[in-house]
Amino acid sequence: MDVPKHRSGRSTSLRDATDSSKMEGTGSWDALEWTKIEPVSRFVSHTNLDFLLEAEHVIAEGHGVVLVNTDDAGMLMITNFRLLFLSEGTRKVIALGTIPHATIEKFNKTVARTQSNARQLEKTPPQRLLQVIGKDMRIIVFGFRPRTKQRRIIFDALRRCTKPATLWDLYAFVCGPSRFKNTNPQVRLLDEYFRLIGKGARASTDMIESGSFTLSNDLWRISSINSNYKMCPSYPFALVVPKIISDDEVLLASNFRARGRLPVVSWCHLGTGAVLARSSQPLVGLMMNMRSNMDEKLVAALCSKLDDGSRRKLYIADARPRKNALANGAMGGGSESSSNYFQSEIVFFGIDNIHAMRDSFARLREYLDTHGRASSDGMSSFLRHGGSTWGGGNLSSMSASVSTLGDSGWLLHVQNVLAGSAWIAARIAMEKASVLVHCSDGWDRTSQLVALANLLLDPYYRTFNGFQALVEKDWLAFGHPFCDRVGLPAFSGSELTRQPSSSNFAASPGRQPSGAFTSPSSSHAQTSNNYSPIFLQWVDCVSQLLRMYPFAFEFSAAFLVDFLDSMLSCRFGNFLCNSEKERLQCNISETCGCMWVYLADLRALEGGSHVHYNPFYDPLKHNGPLLPPAAALAPTLWPQFHLRWACPEEAQAGEIEAKCRKIITKYTELQKAKEVAERKSKEISNAMESLNAELQNLKQQNSSAMNMANRANKENMSIKRAIQSIGCKVHFSNTGDCIVDIESNPLGTAQNFLYCSKKGSDGITLDDEKDLAVAVTVTADDDDNDENSPIGRVCENLCPFRSADGGCRWPNGRCAQLSSQFVGLRANFDAFDKLSIDDSYFKPE
């Protein structure tokens, strides 16, 4: 959706005010020149509205509508889930003008006239406006064309949609679980209990049905005393209580606490044994003299002994102002007495009730709308009252605008909740003390303090999964009345009814300057006396901690904004009804979608680069409790939530996170590229090593071949010298043959020796491949068998088979025959004995 931006220049003026009215500083609405607006065609193909959600359909629509805040013209549509505003030209959804029905606090029809001279007043038609006030800090105003019934059509449709008769008419039930299917929240609650008491078991539906979830450790146990919700309808089905307290004692102790909300464990430290417990106010009565032995025993059991055997101290933190606690005594309530609870100390935090929070929120919304960049009356705060100085034209007005923020009291209330939570966390972490927290009913201020203290004490709750477990445990399971506080149809037995509207705001959320609005039509009082932004205030406190400790949280401020929007919209069923019992009776987990699955799917689309992830998160930096000092607890406006509608440009505090996220994404990409390059480099290195090994092998083979060649040369030279020593000449031909000429031939005949160098020739087997077998055949022209012949001398000198006495050890060799004369010549004559020569080698003449 498009982010609304204030436009300083416009091609089509929709509220051209006369110069005189600006100079007079009347602060009235500008005149809307409807004659310059060309209404769009009434025919809209709903089949092309791809921005509609699943099971969302259009109920009514208005054409030629103006969003006065930003001076945008377009089409206004009412669906069964939200109010949609589409820009006239692009048909894109304008975020500022789009709001779910459940997020609307109230809306009114108004008529405004431009303050001008009488003659122009008669000619100018009145402005027909629709003011919509949201629970998410926005006030938006739509202008409709005069003399049409479009405003009435939109108003009636909006009234029907924002005031459903039953829960079943809500969009969450119409849409169903869809692809955001929920799991059993009771199973998730047991999983969190098991984690708290140090059990590694996993919960299941069978475990709940059989009642086998009552595990325990040395100090605490899980009780099923409230499994049928009879003891306390607003408590969960399972409770963590001291192990030494029986279920019967638990049941008796519940009678002394308002609405049966007895003291139970919310969080425990496995190492020190300190616990954070919660309850409602005790029923001590007007005289503050009522007591309960079972209640005192149960509270005392929260304080186990320290390692040195001494008694652990107990702090009872009453979230209310002291005077309010005393006043509740007139209605049977009140506060504990330290004399009745052993080694205890009572502390009052002075946090105001839900009515004060509701009025404060309304004043803050009014302040932001008045002094925002673009207000609901379409005028920038720079130009309000015709001044040239921000804030109203003079220093006193500027100071007044700043003091108005302080007068709203919102930041002071936030600071009180933060300070109380930090004090609780410090007592548990530093003193190893146990703390019991309560207010009146124990489901508003108590939930704020306990949940925020949990967040400070346990790093697990600062992760996505832990934050979900924390909200489901201390807000949903322990019965914060979301239906009443958000303003939805309430569950009453088997009948679904609507909470009556019985009060007005002390400070009107809508600003109506004198002379600007006439004949207001108060059409809708969406809120009841029970409406209050308690949960919103708690999320605001979480954002303050996120600002103080940016490295301690896995989630970002953008996640908190989307989380709040999803809760307020009631698109999902997680926050419907007032208690776990009611949600179970309405079968919410099976008939509605799950917000947690929806948010998880959003993160899964982009992985760690999604805006919900905190780019600065460092789990090792803050792996223990967060204990902010009082000086650090000064809150500020939450830009991403408080300023996003009135000051959209200034609300972009997340741009730094976005830049860091881009840098981290780029760094991640570079890391992946580096890993790929390193893998390729390693592959190349391995290939180089393989090539080097092959090269070394080739070098070794070459060196071996060179050695063999050198050895062969040496053997040849030895053979040549041996033959020449008997008076022969050796001639080598190109074919490799060797001709041996005998010079000293007394017969005058030329006798030639044919020398052939062979390796592994037929008939000769070499045991050593490096040995060289040489066969020399000597031929003569005549058959001279004289022993003094040169042939005889050759045989006599060269044959190694000659014995010392001149005999032949190889008579079968027929060496005396010239035609088959064989002489075995070796460079290494000792190896000649290894030759085995087949008889068939020598052929007969």
Answer yes or no: are the C-beta atoms of 206 and 233 closer than 8 Å: no
Q: Are strands 434-438 and 344-348 parallel, antiparallel or unpaired?
A: unpaired
Q: What's the chain's Rg over C-alpha atoms?
A: 49
CA 276 to chain centre: 28
By the 10 Å C-beta count (0-12 exposed, 13-18 middle, 19+ buried), 684 is classed as: exposed
Question: Which residues have C-beta within 8 Å of that of residue 695, sequence separation ≥ 6?
Answer: none
CA dihedral 393, 397, 398, 400 (to 10 degrees): -170
CA atoms within 13 A on the CB side of 102: 27
Question: Which residues have C-beta within 8 Å of that of residue 633, sequence separation ≥ 6?
Answer: 415, 418, 419, 422, 544
Query: Under DSSP, is residue 669 helix (H, G, I), strand (E, B) or coil?
Result: helix
570 classed as catalytic:
no
Sign of torsion over alpha carbons 694, 696, 702, 705: negative
Query: Under DSSP, is residue 327 helix (H, G, I), strand (E, B) or coil?
Result: helix
CA atoms within 13 A on the CB side of 244: 10
Residue owning tokens 């030895």: 718
Q: What does the alpha-carbon distance between residue 431 and residue 792 come to, in Å, rounded to a whole number?
A: 120
CB under 8 A, 24+ apart: contacts of 618-621: 618/551, 618/552, 619/459, 619/554, 621/551, 621/552
Structure tokens at 416: 């009180």
CA 319 to chain centre: 33
Structure tokens at 236: 């969960």
Residue owning tokens 């869809």: 178
Name the active-site residue from 439, 483, 594, 799. 439
Question: Which residues have C-beta within 8 Å of that of residue 382, sequence separation ≥ 6?
Answer: 390
Q: What does the alpha-carbon distance between residue 766 and residue 747 come to, in Å, rounded to a whole number?
A: 38
Other C-beta atoms lying within 10 Å of the C-beta of residue 478: 26
CA 454 to chain centre: 20
Return the closest-CA partner of residue 544 out of 413, 648, 446: 413
Q: What does the alpha-carbon distance between residue 715 and residue 129 come to, in Å, rounded to a whole number?
A: 119
Return the closest-CA partner of residue 463 out of 552, 333, 374: 552
Answer yes or no: are the C-beta atoms of 70 and 96 closer than 8 Å: yes
**Partners of 496 in the β-ladder:** 491
Q: Which strands sit side by side in the sheet containing 738-742, from one edge to the other?
A: 728-732, 738-742, 752-758, 773-779, 823-825
Query: Which contiguous run of DSSP H or E holds residue 354?
Result: helix 354-370
Answer yes or no: are the C-beta atoms of 740 and 753 closer than 8 Å: yes
H-helix segments, 610-654: 639-642
Q: Are strands 764-765 and 836-837 parallel, antiparallel or unpaired?
A: antiparallel
- CA distances for 693 relative to 696, 698, 705, angstroms: 5, 9, 18
Q: Could you give the residue numbers annotated as active site?
A: 439
